[in-house]
Amino acid sequence: MTTIREVAKRADVSAMTVSRVLNNSAHISRKARQRVEAAIAELGYVPNALARSLRFKQTNTLALVLTDITNPFFTTVARGVEDAASDAGFNVIFCNTDESEGEQRENLTALARKQVDGVLLVPARSTPEALVYLQERHIPVVILDRRIEHCSADAVRCDSEGGAYRLTRLLLDQGHRRIAILTGSENVSTAVDRVTGYRRALDEAGIAVDQSYSNYGEFTQASGEVMARQALRLSPPPTALFAANNFIAIGAYRALRAGGYQIPEQVSLVGFDDLPPALVMDPFLTVAAQPAYEMGQKATELLLARLADPAPAPPQELIMPTEIIVRQSSGPPVGHSATKPTIV
């Protein structure tokens, strides 16, 4: 490893002069500058950001802690984060927690040690420990995608409740009366909020909420399959399934196909989270789509703004709208013709 002093020796100046050349600070004589630049090139010198960070207490590194980068929603969020960070000269460390509080904790301590300037956190749980941990250590954080209970922090997420409400409303307007929801863990705010929105729509429509139509599981394809099968065994069976995330939707779709159900003729299927257009051959699923890329981008911009101006300011919550995209997987139930749909 070549250090600033070696460059200095080679250019026959002091280390300080080299430093000044590197940072364009103060005035340097033409000759000195040229010699320094030559030495840097010859030695392939690269300044050590560790030493720099140690002095300035700034690493120009952010962290993105999410549950699973493999979920295309988070992949897209990640891309938004990386682009925004990159534009500002920051790098991003990313960590998967797989919804595990243990992994989340391990990741956060490692990140704290590494002195990341800020954290974008998709909390594994809606409990506040993770957030508290970061706040106690004065590490700026933006909560992404999910809510945390009883606490205030900068946050960027979608209106899960509203999106679920509108999606349910769409089904109701098409004539469905028995709608089952397949959602994630009760510990995850998006899973819960989507049920809340779904129930509000049912309430408004004067439909008694049947608890057995609310299925809690995991945000995975396998869980979606299981929950769909369970829901279809109920009597009377639902005429529509509401999958609370993309993986669940795909699992439910598989279960429906395996069970020989026609979609949407026999059972309608709607989902939360769209799949990116580049990834899907036939857009088919009716969904509430979240602006994943923008969420990552905005969250990062918010975080960077906090770093730039650490003056205490009230926490900011950015709640982004979902977009209802109607496709072929939903339609009126057997024997019903759709009522005029509400604008969604």
Least distance CB 145 / a copy of itself (angstroms): 17
Least distance CB 10 / DNA (angstroms): 12
Cα 144 from chain centroid (whole Å): 6
Least distance CB 255 / a copy of itself (angstroms): 11
What torsion do the CA atoms of 259, 260, 265, 267 make, to the nearest 10 degrees?
A: 0
CA distances from 243 to 218, 231, 237, 283, 337 (A): 11, 11, 16, 16, 23
CB closer to DNA, 15 vs 151: 15
Listed ranges 7-15, 135-143, 156-164, 294-302: which one lies at the site for DNA (CB under 7 A):
7-15
Residue 279 binding target from DNA, a copy of itself, none, CB below 5 to 8 Å by type: a copy of itself
Least distance CB 309 / a copy of itself (angstroms): 19
Spatial separation of the C-alpha atoms in residues 271 and 60, rounded to whole Å: 38
Q: Count of residues binding DNA (CB under 7 A)? A: 30
Q: Is 31 in the site for DNA (CB under 7 A)?
A: yes
Spatial separation of the C-alpha atoms in residues 194 and 115, rounded to whole Å: 36
Spatial separation of the C-alpha atoms in residues 65 and 118, rounded to whole Å: 11
Spatial separation of the C-alpha atoms in residues 75 and 214, rounded to whole Å: 28
Do the strands 214-216 and 268-272 form a parallel or antiparallel pair, or are they unpaired? unpaired
Site string for DNA, 35-74 (x = CB under 7 A): ------------xx-xxx-xx-x-----------------
CB closer to DNA, 47 vs 128: 47
What residues have CB less than 8 Å from 251, skipping those under 6 apart?
Answer: 220, 221, 222, 223, 224, 225, 226, 227, 228, 243
Least distance CB 90 / DNA (angstroms): 17
DSSP for 153-192, written as a single string: -EEEEE-HHHHHHHHHHHHHHTT---EEEEE--TTSHHHH
Residue 20 binding target from DNA, a copy of itself, none, CB below 5 to 8 Å by type: DNA
Residue 336 binding target from DNA, a copy of itself, none, CB below 5 to 8 Å by type: none
Near DNA by CB under 7 A: residue from 25, 211, 235, 337: 25
Cis preceding-peptide flag for 238 (omega within 30 of 0): no
Q: Is 23 in the site for DNA (CB under 7 A)?
A: yes
Residues of the shown chain interacting with DNA in the complex, contacts defined by CB under 7 A: 1, 3-5, 12-17, 19-20, 22-23, 25-29, 31-33, 47-48, 50-52, 54-55, 57
